[in-house]
Amino acid sequence: MAADRRQTKSKYTADRMIPGAFDGETVTRRRFMTLSAHGAGAIAASAFLLPAVGFAVGPIFEEHKLSWQDVGAENEFPDDTYVPKTITIVDAIGEAGKSTVYVRKRNAQVDTDKLPKSFEYEQYVAISTRCMHLGCPVRYVDAAQRFICPCHGGVYDFQGKVSGGPPVRPLDRFYTRTRNGRVQIGPRYSVNQELERFSPRDPGEALDGVGQYLYPSRPSVRKLSHGEP
């Protein structure tokens, strides 16, 4: 074996004829000094680097409280067209934190997707205006019964499924619920082409096939689960 052919060196510096070696010493004092100086430097640098990086990266892992926002009375929303409503996505940043959401009543003939457990009584569909290509704001064109994006020509059908252009998945939706005759909008969720619900993803991130594994969900934002609404 190659290792055996090498001349074995003693681990003691005294045996290796290093000048000034102490009896029983295995690391020279010069080497020990170098290592400890480097180590102290590394500790000092990480003392400010690690907190700074953590400070910058922290928001990714921050939990966001889900809120339900009132958008109108139940009878405002027909089941054959959408009513645009303004909701607040981010507080305290003025107009930049607001977004439009398109709301309609569920239509048994169109909406054949199965509602998940504990959401069996969801009666309203709330569609996000965030285009699933790169996030521009889509608008609903009633004459065409399509959502159309002004930036790169994404087109979605009445249910928000992709019917043309570059978008990679249907338009995001929001959870809805009814309280005292008022419709309320909850957290965002994403859907794949079969309208299965996923936790919210960014635009451009496909959810069909291998896409759901290539674009992992956020550790801090989950899909609503049983019993939460």
Partner 1 sequence: MPKLKLPKPPVPPLPKALSPRPRRPGGGPPETPLDTAKEAGTAIVGWVDERTSLSGPARWLMFRKVPRGTNWFYTLGSATMFAFLNQAVTGVFLAMYYDPSPTHAYESARFITNEAFLGEFVRGMHKWGSSVMVILVFLHMARTFFFGAYKYPRELNWIIGVVLLILTMTMSFTGYLLPFDQRSYWATIVGVNINGTGPLVGPYLSDFLRAGPEFGATTLSRFYAIHMLLVPGALAALIGAHLYLVTKLGTTAPPWLKAETDSELREEVA
The residues of the shown chain that bind partner 1, judged by CB under 8 A, are: 56-57, 59-60, 62, 64, 89-94, 96-97, 134-137, 151, 200-205, 214-218, 220-221
Task: Provide, rounded to whole angstroms, the least separation between the CB of residue 136 and partner 1.
Answer: 6
CB nearer to partner 1: pick between 158 and 175: 175
Instruction: Count the neighbouring beta carbons within 10 Å of the beta carbon of residue 57.
Output: 9
Task: Provide, rounded to whole angstroms, the least separation between the CB of residue 90 and partner 1.
Answer: 5
CB nearer to partner 1: pick between 116 and 204: 204
Task: Report the distance separating Cα 63 and Cα 224, nearest Å.
Answer: 13
CB nearer to partner 1: pick between 18 and 206: 206
Task: Provide, rounded to whole angstroms, the least separation between the CB of residue 78 and partner 1.
Answer: 29
Task: Report the distance separating Cα 66 and Cα 70, nearest Å.
Answer: 13
| Block residue for tokens 């936790």 | 199
Task: Provide, rounded to whole angstroms, the least separation between the CB of residue 216 and partner 1.
Answer: 6
DSSP three-state, residue 69:
strand
Task: Provide, rounded to whole angstroms, the least separation between the CB of residue 82 and partner 1.
Answer: 22
CB nearer to partner 1: pick between 85 and 104: 85
Burial 64-100 (b: 16+ CB within 10 A, else e): eeeebeebeeeeebeeeebbebebeeeeeeeeeeebb
Q: Give, in degrees to the nearest 5, the angle at Cα 147 between 146 and 148.
A: 110
Task: Provide, rounded to whole angstroms, the least separation between the CB of residue 5 and partner 1.
Answer: 39
Task: Provide, rounded to whole angstroms, the least separation between the CB of residue 200 and partner 1.
Answer: 7
DSSP-assigned letters across all residues of 93-155: SGGGGEEEEEEEE--TTT--SPPPTT-TT--EEEEE-B-TTT-PBPEEETTTTEEE-TTT--E
Residue 187 has what DSSP assignment?
E
CB nearer to partner 1: pick between 106 and 223: 223
Q: CB–CB of 105/164 below 8 Å?
A: no
CB nearer to partner 1: pick between 103 and 168: 168
CB nearer to partner 1: pick between 26 and 217: 217
